[in-house]
A and B are shown apart, each in its own frame.
Chain A
Amino acid sequence: MESYVTVSGLISQFLVGLSRAMILFIVSSGLSFILGVLRVPNVAHGSLYMIGAFVAHTLAMAAGGGAAGFWLALVLAPTAVALISLAAERLLFCHLYEREHLMLLLFTFALALILGDLTKITWGADYRSLVAPPFLQGSVMVLGTPFPRYNLFLLAVGPVVALGLWLFSNKTKVGKIARAAAVDREMVGAIGINVGRVFAFAFVLGCFLAGLGGALVSPTVSITLGMDHTIIIEAFLIVTIGGLGNMWGALAGSLIFGVSQSMGILLWPQFAIVFPYLAVVIILTLKPTGLLKSVW
């Protein structure tokens, strides 16, 4: 079979992979953060991502479906998701902190199932489509190959979120407390800080990121039931190969996953599905604890 790989094709495809990695990063950084501070894999993360997409669609449609609606949805949908997670945390989750670790995991699993069904009940089985605001529609030519404008937007948003997270972790008191709690929650309590509040905050922030990922991805995919399953597997793999609880690890993992997937599609379309998982296997074989330092 002839090869249609050109330099411009490679670059364009690389950029597409990079922009996909941005969404993966936003979602998995949230998962990683929760994992680091609470030491719990949040199985409901994918469901919250899906709800973020559905809510974004509903809000954007309610606001008229145009550009204003989109931006509004982008801000409000993650907030709504954060509120949902806060409700779950305050009502049930916080009572489990003292219990065995396994209980927390089971709780997030139950939450994932409940949210999945609630989504089906609220929005039905039909899939929805959200449109990007007009100036982000269409494509620009990048070295002779068309590149969707919205993906350029994603390429800008990703680093902004990364910067925001970094500033939060390293420059704010709450961020520092969260980092301390990730390593030694007992001692954080011993200096007078209510660790339960820290957990609540970390959980809500992580879920906000999941919702943000869902809202951002909605113009590029069909919003359907089942979105939660695909993303949660990818996010877990990314967090594992990046290093548990490590934000830079989530970034590295997302880049590897996203780019290997898109390059695989260009270079070997029949087996493109395999590439990112192959990358995961290789990384974990060479470095079982992940590329970067795990928090624990």
Chain B
Amino acid sequence: MKKERFFSVGQLLMWAGCLLAVVMPAAAEARDIKVGIVDTYSGPAAVFGNDALNGFKLAVNEINKQGVLGGKIVFTTRDEQFKVDIGLNVAKELVLKENVDVLVGTINSGASMAISEAVAKKEKIPFIVWTAKSENITGKAGHRYVFSTAENTAMAGKSAAVAFAKKPFKKFWIAGDDYEYGHAIADAIWRNLKKIKPEVEAIGRTWWKPGEPDLIPYLTAIQAAKPDCIIFATGGVSMANVLKAIKTTGMENKIPAWIHTATDHSVLKPLGMNAPEGVMGTIQYHYYYPETPANKKFVADFQAAYGNPPGFPAFNAYTTAQLIAGAYRKAGKIDKEKFIDAMEGLKVDTPVGKVEMRACDHQAVYPMFLGTTKISQEFGGAIAADIITLQGDEVMPTCEEIAEARKQK
């Protein structure tokens, strides 16, 4: 007699069906996109790290209302303390232990370059640099796995050169922070300026340690040399120190000065009504200009959430979030290579209009705003006035120049 089986075939099929019904949706169910953020959250540069994080959070909250590919964007942060070795370690940890899908950060150019080379390229994970400005990031050290949503020194340099070409200055003094960013920006400006106006002369260079608090002795020494204009290649906190020293030494309106991102409100605000006037600067974002509805909304939302208006790091980070969401939606799945392909050439909406992530070098194309500081009673301090807008393609290095630079590496 046929022994009765424990389970009949029918029951087996039923169980199999149930199992599949449970397992398959789980496999097809979306998961959250994990973003790993490396930035500086301690020390003087923390103000920029926090600004960026706030911009990112604002964007992500909006994006998550709709969701991306059925899931949300989640993120985790790590403090690099403005140190390259720490930045490298935490980036590795985020990729290898936390298994993030995409890396973003940081304000330190050195750390960004290190992470780009040793983590992004090696582990084949996309890394979007959102504040560090070294042009090498997407220039000669650029590769498939690194992107930048920060304006870089090449763009700043060319904008400055375009601005100076129109002025009568001939004798320049170059002074700045003695680190990668400082030198990069000084080189970029000088390189581009010399091309447009070969008769300019750099009569001296001064480098101080980054973050040097008392710049008065430096400025008094430079003033003694009587240059036509001073180019300050400073980052982070030094900008405020330079502006303060310009005022204290009585240089204001006597010797013209130019500082990239000097017109950022996070730099000008603490100085209040005592900021110097007549200082020229370039920046890719002002919260009060242009007064487009998109910008106004961004500023209003940011102000409501964080109590102060957004700076350029917040703007960059906001744009980064839009790019991430847009690229994943375009890619259709959470896959690093497809994400990168989707990013190339992607255009997203930002408070200053549509911004494109250029395919040839993975650099976001921003317009640059050139302004001069002027005290405004309404704002209780200095703002950028007489703003001239330079379009993105006016200030970017060409794709051919980028290819050339990468080959020489």
Contact = CB atoms under 8 A, between A and B. Distances in A.
Direct interface between A and B, CB < 8 A: yes
Interface of A: 1-2, 4-6, 8-9, 12-13, 16-17, 20, 65, 120, 125-129, 131, 137-139, 145-148, 150-151, 217, 219-222, 224-227, 230, 261-262, 265-266, 269-270, 272-273
Nearest to B178: A273
Contacts of B206: 265, 269-270, 272
Given A12-B224, A125-B50, A146 B250 contact: yes
B21 interface: no
B77 interface: no
A224 B44 contact: yes
A33 to B, nearest CB: 24
Contact of B244 (A145, A221, A261): A221
B221 interface: yes
7 contacts: A125-B47, A139-B250, A145-B223, A220-B244, A221-B241, A225-B43, A225-B46
Nearest to B308: A126
Instruction: Name the residue in A220, A269, A270 with the highest tally of chain B Cβ atoms < 10 Å from its Cβ.
Output: A269
B213 A230 contact: yes
Instruction: Name the residue in B220, B237, B241, B270 with the highest tally of chain A Cβ atoms < 10 Å from its Cβ.
Output: B220
A17 B203 contact: no
Contact of B208 (A8, A226, A273): A273
Contacts of B136: none
Contacts of B271: 129
Contacts of A8: 224
Contact of A9 (B47, B49, B221): B221
B89 interface: no
B375 to A, nearest CB: 13
B225 interface: yes
Nearest to B211: A226
A17 B223 contact: no
A129 B244 contact: yes
B221 A13 contact: yes
B398 interface: no
Contact of B217 (A219, A224, A262): A262
B221 A127 contact: no
A20 B218 CA distance: 12
A4 B205 CA distance: 12
Interface string B239-280: 011001000111100000000000000100011101000000
Given A129-B270, A138-B250, A273-B178, A148 B216 contact: yes
B306 to A, nearest CB: 12
B214 interface: yes
A272 B217 CA distance: 11
Contact of A139 (B204, B225, B249): B249
A270 B274 CA distance: 30
Contacts of A120: 42, 46
A106 B318 CA distance: 44
A148 B224 contact: no
Contact of A4 (B47, B175, B216, B225): B225
A227 B217 contact: no
Contacts of B249: 139, 146, 148
Contact of A12 (B214, B220, B248): B220
